Amino acid sequence: MTNQNPDCLFCKIIAGEIPSKKIYENDEVYAFADIQPIAPVHYLFVTKTHICCAKKINTENSQSVAKIFEAIAEVAEKENIDSYRVITNCGEDAGQSVMHLHFHMVAGKKMGWGEQSLG
């Protein structure tokens, strides 16, 4: 069962109303290439259900989050991506610009640690 928000960019992408470069899809997860990649590999994994952000993860919907991590592992294996980083930004100060829960999968370059390291 999915819950969509008609005003949400990622809900529109999931519905196919806005084009995206699909990487992966199952009943609960959709993954596509980030339009402004910060590394050679930069995919976004989103729950098909509209959840605004990590703050709203709860016992009812956390299974979708588990499915995202399963999907990430599957894509990594399929694409031979041995080392990668998974990020979710929650809230404005953390840099969240689209209010639909998503996980960045970033790979293909050496990454440091710290607030500037992914810019």
Of 36, 58, 59, 80, the one binding ligand AMP (CB under 6 A) is 36
Contact pattern for ligand AMP over residues 3 through 32, marking x by CB under 6 A: ------x--------x-x-----------x
Q: Which helix (H) or strand (E) holds 13?
A: helix 9-15
Tell me if 34 contacts ligand AMP by CB under 6 A: yes
Backbone angles phi, psi at 105, to 5 degrees: -110, 120
Residue 31, token pair as written in the block? 């993954």
Q: Measured from the CB atom, is 77 or 94 closer to ligand AMP?
A: 94
Radius of gyration over alpha carbons of the chain, in Å? 14
Of 8, 67, 89, 118, the one binding ligand AMP (CB under 6 A) is 89
Stretch that binds Zn ion, among 9-17, 18-26, 30-38, 84-92 (CB under 5 A): 9-17
Active site residue 102: yes
Q: DSSP characters for 52-86?
A: -SGGG--TTTHHHHHHHHHHHHHHHHHTT--SEEE
